Chains A and B, each alone.
Chain A
Amino acid sequence: MMRLPPFEYHAPASAAEAVAVKAAAAPGAMYVAGGTDLYPNMKRRHQEPEALISLHRVAELRGIEEGADGGLSIGATTSLTEVRGHPRIRASYPALAEACRLISTPILQNMGTLGGNLLLDTRCNYYDQNYDWRKSIEFCMKKDGAICWVAPSSPRCWAVQSADSVPLLVAMGAEVDLLGPGGERRVPVFALYRDDGIVYLAKQRDELLTRVHLPAPNGWRATYRKVRRRGAFDFPVLGVGAWARFSPDGIVEDARVVLGGIGSAPEVVAGAAEALIGGSLDDASIQAAAQAAWKTGRPLDNTDFTISWRKEMIRPTVARALGDLRDSR
């Protein structure tokens, strides 16, 4: 039986109160939204917070609203089920509905939130194991140990950014609001991440993610493609978010291709944008972009499937994602 470790429990009623409680709590205290990432991790003793600040009573963090600039603003604790089913998201941001559909399972989507997905812990085959398993091979440096089992001579951890919404939201240029003890700031989703498996977030410790802002849906298209073993449950071993903005005559004015499921942070493929901008998304530019992504992505042996197969999947998956953008034109 894997019980949760004991914790103090707070259930504040507002975002400001949540931040105040968090700032006053022990340094290891954590926010919890759906708990679908945190509770399994706590059972495996990845995280052992002295206190939990649950967001379930904070109504202002839930729900979807029109943004001032013609975009959409999604509360951080809006469930994935609500996001994927929302009429405005289905109509104007179908790629986000699709990315949420591909997360975990429909039951977990009733519990898991969009904010929790953005802040998902990084993953690794040597880490996502119970305490006794990790102890039996000697703990790794992400929790309780000193070595990396994936790259034993490495000074850093290479655990993998595995949240399905992230490559898409980075590609779309979405932004988030972070509320801290010193006030609120807005940052691009991309700026939330650090290329380190342990300290994977650039967010300050007590900052609460309050809202996700989607840009107004005009002149661009986006898509998300995921590779995994089963059609449900499994995290991505590769996630491709692709976005392009078109001129009225169909020329790509700007583009972003973002890889997830490979490095510790989402990876923006600069070479892919170069290959696409100024062209008309023809086969040759799609192949060149896919080749650039293949060069950029360097998976390590710490998820499902072999590294060589995962690397090989980058080219066709990026090409299919860019094909989606062309076909939906």
Chain B
Amino acid sequence: MCLAVPMRVEEIKGDPEDFTQDQIARVDMDGVSTTVRLDVVDRWPEVGDYVIVHAGFAIHSLDEAEAKKNIELIRELASHMPPELLMADGS
């Protein structure tokens, strides 16, 4: 099951280059604190960033600004998508 809700990074343990130590982040989701692994995250996050987590592993990190930018994009597309683009003539 994919969990689409990003979790906010509260604390980081480990170093992106050092695989001999644990790479862990403490994250917050809806006020509940949990830990996730950072071994396979695409970009090493900073405290305050968000991560997308799959089966205990962060797979993607994004900052809040990135997330907000995307919302704007969707909003824009929703209001400006020209209907004729989607209508086929005839049927």
Are A and B a genuine interacting pair, yes or no? no
